[in-house]
Amino acid sequence: MAAAAPELERRPGQTLRASSVSRSFAGVEALRAVSLELRRGEVLGLIGPNGAGKSTLVNLLSGFDRPTHGQVLLDGRDVTRWRASRRGRSGLARTFQHSHAFRGLSVRENVEVSALGVGAAPNEASRRADELLGLLGLAGYADAPASALAHGDERRLGVARALATRPRYVLLDEPAAGLPEAEVPAFASVVRSVRDDHGAGVLLIDHNMTLIMEVCDRIQVLDQGETLAEGTPDEIRSNLDVAAAYLGESAVVEEDA
Ligand SMILES: Nc1ncnc2c1ncn2[C@@H]1O[C@H](COP(=O)(O)OP(=O)(O)OP(=O)(O)O)[C@@H](O)[C@H]1O
Ligand SMILES: [Mg+2]
């Protein structure tokens, strides 16, 4: 079973929480009093149509943006005003919908830099880079410049960079976009292993409902800046309100622009 399970039992209540957060952009409310709780050792899916507020919520949780109202709590501590870098050193990592890789560095160096950034020694950083590039199917590109990667590979490099920090909580913003359907099961295994082998809490945003339903322990649905539903994959699947939110939006098959 999960290597980290005994640790989790000793330290229950380890969570990353958004408590009734709101965020307005020039009068447009991207989020209205949304709460979310990500526990260690679970995969929480965050789904909803384009523009629902998913990335905005990830920005607030990770410290790349601040809520207009509400709080963010990391293991019970109010981190609402903490910078992203400080949250990173406290065990929080994220990926971006659009590449944040260092384009002039090689794929391997990009992962090493992430590990070094949280204090790993150089040989440990190299070890993590090799392990993660293998895990994410990027070993063949290790020495290529990051700028040479195709869009889908770039997303997985983002995942490798996030995991190189050995996070306790990791927020994945559409990491499987652009991934061929045949490679989705292998990616699902990576997500499970982050949960089971490392005991991390994984927040997974994706429009691929097969991946979401297969890998998530719980799912929260956002629509127009509000929580529409939350529950197990079975509960969400049978929730007619959720289906209604998708009608006309075709969000299940939408990808980011
Ligand atoms: N920096 C910003 N300035 C102005 N409006 C913004 C900003 N960031 C987000 N928004 C708006 O907030 C709303 C939510 O956007 P967000 O990117 O969080 O949606 P999303 O659920 O991640 O969508 P997608 O599935 O397309 O990635 C949208 O209406 C968007 O236009
Ligand atoms: Mg988004």
Residue 197: CATH number of its domain: 3.40.50.300
Instruction: Summarize pLDDT for 153-167 with one digit per residue, the tens.
Output: 999 999 999 999 999
- What is the Cα–Cα distance from 51 to 200, expressed in whole angstroms? 27
In this prediction, residue 218 carries a pLDDT of 97
- Distance in Å, CA 52 to ligand 2 centroid: 8
> What pLDDT band is residue 242 in, cutting at 50, 70 and 90?
low
Inside any domain, residue 122: no
Ligand lying nearest the CA atom of residue 57: 1
Q: Report in angstroms the alpha-carbon separations of 91 from 114, 173, 184, 212.
A: 13, 17, 26, 24
| Atom nearest to 97 CA in ligand 1 | 27
- Distance in Å, CA 57 to ligand 1 centroid: 9
Inside any domain, residue 133: no
- What is the Cα–Cα distance from 60 to 182, expressed in whole angstroms? 33
Inside any domain, residue 239: yes
Inside any domain, residue 231: yes
Instruction: Summarize pLDDT for 118-155 with one digit per residue, the tens.
Output: 999 999 999 999 999 999 999 999 999 999 999 889 99
In this prediction, residue 7 carries a pLDDT of 47
- Distance in Å, CA 224 to ligand 2 centroid: 12
Residue 144's contacts (CB-CB under 8 Å, 6 or more residues apart) are 106, 107
Inside any domain, residue 153: no
In one-letter notation, the amino acid at residue 46 is L
Structural domain count of the chain:
1
In this prediction, residue 147 carries a pLDDT of 94
In one-letter notation, the amino acid at residue 79 is V
> What pLDDT band is residue 99 in, cutting at 50, 70 and 90?
confident
Check if 114 has its Cβ closer than 6 Å to any atom of ligand 1.
no
**Prediction pTM value:** 0.90
Handedness of CA 128, 163, 92, 6 (dihedral sign): negative
What is the DSSP secondary-structure string of 24-85?
Answer: EETTEEEEEEEEEEEETT-EEEEE-STTSSHHHHHHHHHTSS--SEEEEEETTEE-TT--HH
> What pLDDT band is residue 32 in, cutting at 50, 70 and 90?
very high
Cβ-contact 216, 204 below 8 angstroms: yes
Check if 98 has its Cβ closer than 6 Å to any atom of ligand 1.
no
What does the DSSP 8-state code read for residue 150? -
Instruction: Summarize pLDDT for 169-201 with one digit per residue, the tens.
Output: 999 999 998 888 888 999 999 999 999 988 999
Domain holding 16, by residue range, is 5-91+167-246
Inside any domain, residue 75: yes
In this prediction, residue 137 carries a pLDDT of 92
- What is the Cα–Cα distance from 148 to 132, expressed in whole angstroms? 19
Mark the residues whose beta carbon lies below 5 A from ion ligand 2.
Answer: 54-55
Inside any domain, residue 74: yes
- What is the Cα–Cα distance from 170 to 43, expressed in whole angstroms? 10
In this prediction, residue 152 carries a pLDDT of 87
Check if 56 has its Cβ closer than 6 Å to any atom of ligand 1.
yes
Cβ-contact 70, 20 below 8 angstroms: yes
| Atom nearest to 225 CA in ligand 1 | 14
In this prediction, residue 160 carries a pLDDT of 96
Mutate to test the pocket of ligand 1, among 55, 94, 209 (most ligand atoms within 8 A of CB): 55
In this prediction, residue 216 carries a pLDDT of 97
Inside any domain, residue 104: no
Give the per-residue SS3 of 125-138: HHHHHHHHHHHCCC
- What is the Cα–Cα distance from 252 to 147, expressed in whole angstroms? 29
Check if 62 has its Cβ closer than 6 Å to any atom of ligand 1.
no
- What is the Cα–Cα distance from 21 to 7, expressed in whole angstroms? 30
- Distance in Å, CA 56 to ligand 1 centroid: 6
